[in-house]
């Protein structure tokens, strides 16, 4: 039977804080699988040897979820701008156009 080494699993994941005995994992690239999570052994200098959690790659949904609250705020700001500020800006532009047209008409009559 090959010798076993005691590994302390740290850094989060499903087996965080547990200690496991395994044969030298460097035959498997230093990866320990526990509870569906993967842990990378730090080295062979301590007893127990620490193995840090390797977080799985984030899915597209996970990456989008971090931006979701700010996206909702941005959408709300856009709606507020269009519904409240845009009509007032259009009215002001129309009034400025009417005033300019009236002024041009009076200047043309003086002509």
pLDDT in tens, 1-35: 556 677 788 888 888 888 887 765 555 567 788 88
Measuring CA to CA, which residue among 49, 47, 65, 45 is closest to residue 9? 49
Q: Are residues 104 and 64 in the same domain?
A: yes
Full domain range(s) for residue 20: 5-54
Contact 21, 4 (CB under 8 A): yes
Q: What is the pLDDT of residue 51?
A: 78
Number of domains in the chain: 2
Q: Are residues 48 and 65 in the same domain?
A: no
Q: What is the pLDDT of residue 93?
A: 95
Q: What is the pLDDT of residue 49?
A: 74
pTM: 0.42
Structural domain ending residue among the three candidates 35, 54, 73: 54
DSSP reduced 3-state for 22: strand
Identify the burial level of 108 via C-beta atoms within 10 angstroms of its C-beta, where 0-12 means exposed, 13-18 middle and 19 or more buried.
Answer: exposed
Is 100 a residue whose pLDDT tops 80? yes
Q: Are residues 50 and 11 in the same domain?
A: yes
Q: Are residues 33 and 64 in the same domain?
A: no
**Burial code of 39-54, b = ≥16 C-beta within 10 A, e = fewer?**
bebbeeeeeebbbbbe
DSSP reduced 3-state for 5: strand
């Amino acid at each position: 039977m090959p010798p076993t080494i005691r590994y302390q699993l740290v850094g989060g994941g499903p087996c965080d804080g547990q200690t496991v005995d395994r044969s030298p994992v460097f035959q498997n690239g230093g990866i320990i699988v526990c509870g569906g999570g993967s842990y990378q052994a730090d080295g062979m200098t301590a007893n127990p040897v620490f193995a840090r959690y390797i977080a799985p790659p984030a899915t597209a949904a996970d990456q989008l979820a971090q931006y979701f609250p700010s996206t909702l705020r941005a959408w709300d700001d856009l709606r507020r701008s269009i519904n409240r500020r845009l009509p007032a800006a259009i009215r002001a532009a129309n009034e400025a156009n009417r005033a300019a047209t009236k002024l041009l008409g009076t200047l043309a009559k003086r002509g």
